[in-house]
Structure 1
Amino acid sequence: MSLITPEIKSLIDPVVSSLKRHQIEGDQEIALAIAQLLMKVISAARWTNTYDLISIIRQVGIIIHKAYPRKIIPGNIVRRVLALIRDEIETEHENTPMMSSMFSLLSTTKCEVREDHSKKQMSDMRAIIIQGIRDLVDEITNVSEGLETMCVDLIHDNEVLLTPTPTSDTVLNFLIKARTKRNFTVLVMENYPNEIKKAHQFAKTLAQHNIETVLIPDTTTYAVMSRVGKVIIGTNAVFANGGCLSNSGVANVVECAKEHKTPVFAVGGLYKLSPLYPFSRDDLIEVGNSGHVLNYDDFELVDNVEVVTNPLEDYIPPEHIDIFITNIGGFAPSFIYRIVLDNYKVEDNKLE
């Protein structure tokens, strides 16, 4: 039975429409949009117990997933909120006063106490959950501040760094913060064919902050890797097995880094950690406009090519990453599952 009322549907529809049209850009913006939507849904929803609320949030999560099935972050936020609600239920149960055997004889008193407690629970629970989501919004908004505290310890003076993810604001802020204490050089890859403009803007922004920056073609990765001290990549999603999704082309870079024994640091906020496992990797990776790879104007060449694909992301296996840098600290890929268990509930891994 659907618990989605017309009032809740009117809140969901604009966000779903924006996701389908890719009008919300950036992982942080998507995460904030979903968190704020869930806050509105919880305020508007009519529920008599918290298990009804869990069912409502799960149904909202399914609708959002169907709108943008290849994006992991909306599902992460839904599951974080579900975990928050389940934690409150557990706390409530722990705080329920136990009736002694003598007083339990007075059945009327026991019923009255339970009824009053239930009313108080319902009135307080909504406010507690909304405050929990506000704390989640603050965590997502201030994710860079948590990451920046680690950058000085991880980056050394006169080091050469390479980043193949010029679309990542998290990596950008990480490097800018590190520059306040360290001098280093950054090699920025062009990320052909989808992110060339963003790569140029990324390099320009670093240069404006007095960071020595060199923009390099993707084809020179292997040639320069022997000079690189660390590879720093941004993440689009981090899975429970310690693997992650990142920009297309990153898989080649980390393969080169492994060959040269160059450490790879993956940077990402806690909200990007997912309780899911990448069983069907092809289903996770979004494909973009193939015209960026092979221009349709070059019809003679197009006629002689059977398939042209333009994957927008790469899956990076955990063995190619040395450390994940999050806003709550740095972790080995093998430890990610433990962080996931602390922030999600196993029963919410499958929303349907």
Structure 2
Amino acid sequence: MSSSQTKDINFQIDSFVEKLKRRQINGSYHVALETCQLLMKVVSVAKWNHIDQLIQHIRQLGLRLEKAQPREFSCGNVIRRVLAIIRDEAFENEGNNNELNAPMISSMFSLLSTNDKKSNIQPLINSNTKSNKYHDLKSIIIQSIRDLIDEISSIDEGIEGMSADLIHDNEILLTPTPDSQTVLKFLLKARQKRKFTVLVTENYPNGVEKAHEFIKELSKAKIDTVLIPDSHVFAVMSRVGKVIVGARSVFANGGTVSTAGVASVCECAKEYKTPVFSVAGLYKLSPTYPFDIENLVEIGNSGKVIKFSESQLVHNTGLTNPLFDYISPENIDIYITNIGGFAPSFIYRIVLDNYKTEDVDLS
């Protein structure tokens, strides 16, 4: 690539890394789309003589982005998904080349034949084949990334289509993730065919404002909505028909990371045998395993729990304000994705279909 293109793409990468560090890009959906856009630009201007060079370049970029914000899981998921796309396209391209070479190999045996008939075999590969091959492969990879962007952009449509089949009339639902746009669209779509009631947890102290906005959106769609304190979940669970939760990331073992407080709600639902549905787009499925659960949970500002103005109480109290929870696969009944619903035990198979094992560790 030219020096101007190199400077431009390096500037965009540095800018994206800084945005991740400063959390100027929030939410799995926006991070995934921005990552795809960046990767498409990187692939379009990259110069490489062998596909392994491109793969190594993407892996190094992915490692840098993951270090910038380790808990934005969708960024690493998209990187690994694109690496799988590159490997698949390279493998298919190599297979096509082998098919082209097959007649040439067989023609060598004709040299030993006693048949005097002259063969008019034309050369199948000219001098420009190699450059054309890589140019075509690059175009295919860029188009595949565009298709991935379209898939992520329309991810909610596939999930929304299942809502009417999973929600019944006059049912009481509970959601502890009012910060999830996927859950919101899922419920709004279901309202077109079903009438139901939604209980929304307050999500104190981090998500109170988002919970109020969530309730306003449901009320506009004429959905009966009740805001309840987080401490009231156990009291109302016996009346709840289903628990609908959003997910930040779904791991290969079927576990998931979601909003703080969801783990206790799922434990309560398990006690009452209430089914728990987790809605998540395919880009949130991760090939990694949650070996270090404590490292997955981010700690936020403890000043939201107790104000720093109460210095005497703060000084004598140990405070933690977790932003996320890890939910074990035993507490999730079904994952609702844009390609269908799956049990947690089947997530590993979906992961194998979309990722490569050699790209699980980018280092």
Cα distance 1:322–1:102, how it changes in 2: closer, same or farther (>3 A)? closer
Using the TM superposition, give the Cα deviation of residue 69 of structure 1 relative to its aligned residue in structure 2, in angstroms: 1.3
Residue 312 of structure 1 aligns with an amino acid whose one-letter code is L
Q: Look up the SS of the partner of 2:341 in the other structure.
A: strand
Residue 142 of structure 1 aligns with an amino acid whose one-letter code is S
Alignment of 1:244-323 (within 5 A): 244-305=256-317, 307-323=318-334
* Structure 1, 257-266 or 43-52: larger mean CA deviation: 43-52
8 A contact 1:189–1:218 mirrored in 2: yes
Task: Please identify the structure whose Cα radius of gyration is greater.
Answer: 2
CA–CA distance in structure 2, aligned partners of residues 106 and 53 of structure 1: 39
> Could you tell me the TM-score, scaled by structure 1's length?
0.95
Give the aligned partner of residue 114 of structure 2.
Answer: none
Matched, 1:134 2:146: yes
Residue 249 of structure 1 aligns with an amino acid whose one-letter code is G
What CA deviation, in whole Å up to 9, does each residue of 1:220-242 have, x standing for no partner? 00000000000000000000000
Cα distance 1:10–1:105, how it changes in 2: closer, same or farther (>3 A)? farther
CA RMSD across the alignment = 1.8
Residue 13 of structure 1 aligns with an amino acid whose one-letter code is D
Residue 346 of structure 1 aligns with an amino acid whose one-letter code is T
Q: Look up the SS of the partner of 2:102 in the other structure.
A: coil
Q: Look up the SS of the partner of 2:125 in the other structure.
A: helix
CA–CA distance in structure 2, aligned partners of residues 75 and 162 of structure 1: 30
Matched, 1:220 2:232: yes
Give the aligned partner of residue 58 of structure 1.
Answer: 59
Give the aligned partner of residue 235 of structure 1.
Answer: 247
Q: Which runs of 5+ in 1 are unaligned?
A: none
Using the TM superposition, give the Cα deviation of residue 42 of structure 1 relative to its aligned residue in structure 2, in angstroms: 0.7
Give the aligned partner of residue 328 of structure 1.
Answer: 339
Give the aligned partner of residue 118 of structure 2.
Answer: none
CA–CA distance in structure 1, aligned partners of residues 236 and 49 of structure 2: 62
Using the TM superposition, give the Cα deviation of residue 99 of structure 1 relative to its aligned residue in structure 2, in angstroms: 2.7
Q: Look up the SS of the partner of 2:184 in the other structure.
A: helix
Using the TM superposition, give the Cα deviation of residue 112 of structure 1 relative to its aligned residue in structure 2, in angstroms: 7.3
Residue 226 of structure 1 aligns with an amino acid whose one-letter code is S
8 A contact 1:8–1:45 mirrored in 2: no
8 A contact 1:11–1:40 mirrored in 2: no
8 A contact 1:31–1:74 mirrored in 2: yes
Matched, 1:157 2:169: yes
Matched, 1:211 2:223: yes
Using the TM superposition, give the Cα deviation of residue 110 of structure 1 relative to its aligned residue in structure 2, in angstroms: 10
Give the aligned partner of residue 70 of structure 1.
Answer: 71
Residue 54 of structure 1 aligns with an amino acid whose one-letter code is I
Give the aligned partner of residue 179 of structure 1.
Answer: 191
Matched, 1:191 2:203: yes
Cα distance 1:294–1:94, how it changes in 2: closer, same or farther (>3 A)? same
Residue 336 of structure 1 aligns with an amino acid whose one-letter code is I
Matched, 1:346 2:357: yes
CA–CA distance in structure 1, aligned partners of residues 88 and 129 of structure 2: 18
Give the aligned partner of residue 99 of structure 1.
Answer: 102
Q: Look up the SS of the partner of 1:192 in the other structure.
A: coil
CA–CA distance in structure 1, aligned partners of residues 228 and 167 of structure 2: 21
Cα distance 1:332–1:299, how it changes in 2: closer, same or farther (>3 A)? same
Using the TM superposition, give the Cα deviation of residue 7 of structure 1 relative to its aligned residue in structure 2, in angstroms: 4.6
Q: Look up the SS of the partner of 1:99 in the other structure.
A: helix
Residue 334 of structure 1 aligns with an amino acid whose one-letter code is S
Using the TM superposition, give the Cα deviation of residue 277 of structure 1 relative to its aligned residue in structure 2, in angstroms: 0.3
Residue 213 of structure 1 aligns with an amino acid whose one-letter code is T
CA–CA distance in structure 1, aligned partners of residues 211 and 126 of structure 2: 61
Using the TM superposition, give the Cα deviation of residue 34 of structure 1 relative to its aligned residue in structure 2, in angstroms: 0.4
Residue 287 of structure 2 aligns with an amino acid whose one-letter code is P
